[in-house]
Each structure stands twice: as C-alpha cells, then as structure tokens.
Amino acid sequence: MATYRQDLWEIAASRNGVVTISDAEDAGVPPVEVRKLAARGALRGYGQGVYTHRDVPMTPLTEPTIAVALAGAGAFLHRESVLHLFGLGQFNPPKVRVGTRRRVRRALPEWMDLENRPDVPDSDLTRYEGIPATTVQRALKDMQHRMPPDRWEALVDAAQRRELVGEQHDAIGRVTST
C-alpha cells in the first residue's frame, strides 16, 4: 500500500517536482498530511499551499511551475519566460513572468513578476511540460515592441526553424517582403 509520501512523490515527479494542496487532495492526501510531511522535511514549502518534494530533482522547469502555482488558478507564463523555456533568445530573465486574468492579492516572491493580462484569450493559452503558458506565437507577439527589431526577427526565425510557430507571419506581426 502506497504511503502519502509516495503519493506526493508521484504527483511531484509528474509536475516538475511541484505538488500543491489541491493536487494532494485530488489524489486523496489530506492537507494536514501534506503539512506534516513538510514539517518532517519531505517537502519544501513556498507558501500558498505550494511545495516541492525533496526526493524529486529540481529541473529548469521547477521554478516556472512553482511561480504559476503560487499565482493561483488561471495563471500562466508569458512574454520572455515562455521563450526562455525553449531556449529562444538570450533573455536569462531575472524574474519569472506570470500573467493572470484575475486579481491576485497575496504576497509573492521577489523572483516573480505578476501582470494582469485580461487581453490574453483562451486560444493563446496552452501547456508546455505541464506548465500553463501563452503560446510561443503569443509570446513573440507580446515581445515585438519590447526589443530591437533585428533581435525580434532573429527570435521569430529561430522559432520557425524549430517549428514552434508556423509560417503565419501576419499572426505575429512580422513584416514580410513580397
């Protein structure tokens, strides 16, 4: 018979090392047991019911997964944080950029940048490795006027070569010659 610790390990292993109280409850693990395991050192708490499992190795996807979980339901990665997931460009963002379409009234870590994004429709949202995020195409569109045109063009070209976006230049605002 599986223990609560094993159940939480399975969740964390499938979610980039991250487990939330909500995930635990869905798997039949009571919140009090999650808190007990955190107190015993099996889990590391980040606040707002978000934990990492110490037996699951952290990866480059762990921090973005934590950030979206901390921002709550409906949150998603956006802008350069999406492009950074794919190694597009040289951003090395100092903060994980998270968007949400609702008001968030909670203290968040300094390494996160939360922005209200009511302008992002459902059609521009997806999941990468289980992390809610805008599509690469939407991230490129959002970054177009935030960086030099030649760097942006190079990003679009790299995304197309890697087949992360299609040849729909107009959809991302790219100017093409005829």
Angle at Cα 110 formed by Cα 97 and Cα 72, nearest 5°?
Answer: 55
Give pTM, 2 decimals. Answer: 0.88
State which residues form the domain around 80.
62-168
Q: Are residues 79 and 48 part of one domain? A: no
CA distance 92 to 95: 9
pLDDT category at 172 given cuts 50, 70, 90 is: very low
pLDDT at 47 over 50: yes
Q: Are residues 114 and 42 part of one domain? A: no
> How many structural domains is the chain composed of?
2
Q: Choose one of 32, 53, 74: the last residue of a domain.
A: 53
Give domain status of residue 146, yes or no. Answer: yes
Side by side, the strands of the sheet bearing 43-47 are 18-20, 50-53, 43-47
Average pLDDT over residues 110-128: 96
DSSP state of 124: G
Give domain status of residue 173, yes or no. Answer: no
Q: Are residues 141 and 103 part of one domain? A: yes
Q: What is the pLDDT of residue 169?
A: 44
Q: Are residues 149 and 123 part of one domain? A: yes
Q: Are residues 68 and 26 part of one domain? A: no
Question: In this predicted model, what pLDDT tens digit does every residue of 52-74 receive, in sequence order?
Answer: 999 999 999 999 999 999 999 99
Q: Are residues 43 and 21 part of one domain? A: yes
pLDDT at 175 over 70: no
Question: In this predicted model, what pLDDT tens digit does every residue of 123-167 receive, in sequence order?
Answer: 999 999 999 999 999 999 999 999 999 999 999 999 999 999 976
